[in-house]
Amino acid sequence: MLGEPYRIAWPELWAEDLHVKQRLILGMTEGASTRFDNDALFLNRSNVPMEETYIDWGLVPFPREPGDERELLRGTGGRVRMAAKGKVGGLVNPVFENTTRVIMDRRLKLLREMGQRVTSARATQEFWGIVMSALGEDAIDVPGCVAYGLQNPSEGTLRIMGRIGIGDDPYFPESLNLSELSDSGFEKAVRDLGDSVVMLEDVPILEKFEKRGWGDPLRRAVLVPIKPSTTRPPQGILFLALSSRRPYDEDYSIFIELLTRQIATSLTNVQLLEEEIRRAESDRRKGEELERALAQRTRELRASEGFMGRLAEICPVGIFVSDGSGNISFVNDTWVFHLYC
């Protein structure tokens, strides 16, 4: 690109609304310098059109050799008188790319905030509501999503827990019985999923998603299992639409892996908490039943004691009750009568 005309080297930046052309003219005519940090630029440099990048760049003027001050700057749609003799001979355009760092910071922020929010969840449905809310706020990295999860771990059937960017659609059944999946559509993709991520490209359902993020049609998605461990069946499945302006590279793959791992770990914690709450509730109910049974038994015993006491009082035979040490705790009237009379 060294020495190339700007409109050829970086044609994506030559649009009028980016004002690069105007900055070039100011630099050549007035010696004005330009600097942008983490500037969001969209470049056609890969198989992803208008790839999202973040770049530090500038335009730095350098002195020119003495010459005719009537020289004109050409190639800008007209002729512009150059700066005074000996002032500007050209512009250096230093470029430093920060795309990986900027995007990583954004994605880590999503994971951090989601991790903080889900700590308040006390039930599976509440947990998924928090997760979908957090994902919905990142329209760039997660332009669309359909999440399946176990509403009741004892059932073994996955149900839709939330949607982003799409409403009800027959492509996504409301529930999935993992042991009875069909051989077509989304159920076939789930059946072939296994333990790894499956890439889906140009599937018709993506055309029905909203154009969140950059406003482009969505072309790619990944299907990801939510598995807390290799020994447990999937606790959920995510259908994640991918950004239209970022390649599915190693960084994107790591982000998806960290996202699903965090969801799996947090979901396990919520399920354990639910189980503990159910156990505590069951113990509480058992305790209440025991208390009621004890109270009933006490009432019956007191009633029995009252009946036996009245029976002993009218019995014509003397009756007394004592312990092993000879301490008498009860005598009836007949006993007293025979004792003193």
DSSP-assigned states of every residue in 13-81: G-SGGGTHHHHHHHHHHH---EEEEEEEEEE--SSSTTEEEEEEEEEEEE---S--TT-EE-SSSS-EE
Average pLDDT estimate for 37-46: 88
pLDDT digits (tens, 9 = 90+) for 13-35: 777 676 778 888 888 888 888 88
Percent of the chain's residues with pLDDT above 90? 34
**Fold adopted by 102-276:** Beta-Lactamase (3.30.450)
| Residue 326: strand, helix, or coil | coil
pLDDT digits (tens, 9 = 90+) for 225-254: 988 776 677 788 999 999 999 999 999 999
The Cα 5–Cα 32 span in angstroms is 19
Q: How confident is the model at residue 129 (pLDDT cuts 50, 70, 90)?
A: very high
Decide: pTM greater than 0.75: no
Highest mean pLDDT: which range of 45-54, 102-111, 315-324: 102-111
Confidence (pLDDT) at 234 = 79
Confidence (pLDDT) at 339 = 64
Phi, psi of 165, deg, nearest 5: 85, 5
| Residue 141: strand, helix, or coil | coil
SS3 content of the chain, % helix, strand, coil (to 5): 40, 20, 40
Residue 91 has pLDDT above 70, yes or no: yes
What is the DSSP-derived secondary structure letter of residue 247?
-
Lowest mean pLDDT among 9-18, 35-44, 232-241, 254-263: 9-18
The Cα 24–Cα 75 span in angstroms is 11
Nearest 10 degrees: CA dihedral of 203, 208, 209, 215?
Answer: 100
pLDDT digits (tens, 9 = 90+) for 278-330: 787 777 788 878 888 787 777 766 666 665 666 666 667 777 777 878 787 77
Confidence (pLDDT) at 212 = 92
211 or 306: which leads in pLDDT: 211
Average pLDDT estimate for 154-168: 87
| Residue 238: strand, helix, or coil | strand
| Residue 160: strand, helix, or coil | strand
Confidence (pLDDT) at 75 = 47
Q: 267-277: string of b/e by CB count within 10 Å (b at 16+)?
A: beebbeebeee
Tokens encoding 40: 């969001």
pLDDT digits (tens, 9 = 90+) for 69-83: 444 455 445 544 554
Report which of 252, 226, 251, 254 is spatially closest to residue 239, judged by C-alpha positions. Answer: 226
Tokens encoding 280: 């505590």
Confidence (pLDDT) at 84 = 52
Chain region(s) in the chain for CATH 3.30.450.40: 102-276
* 237 beta partners: 148, 225
Confidence (pLDDT) at 70 = 46
Confidence (pLDDT) at 206 = 93
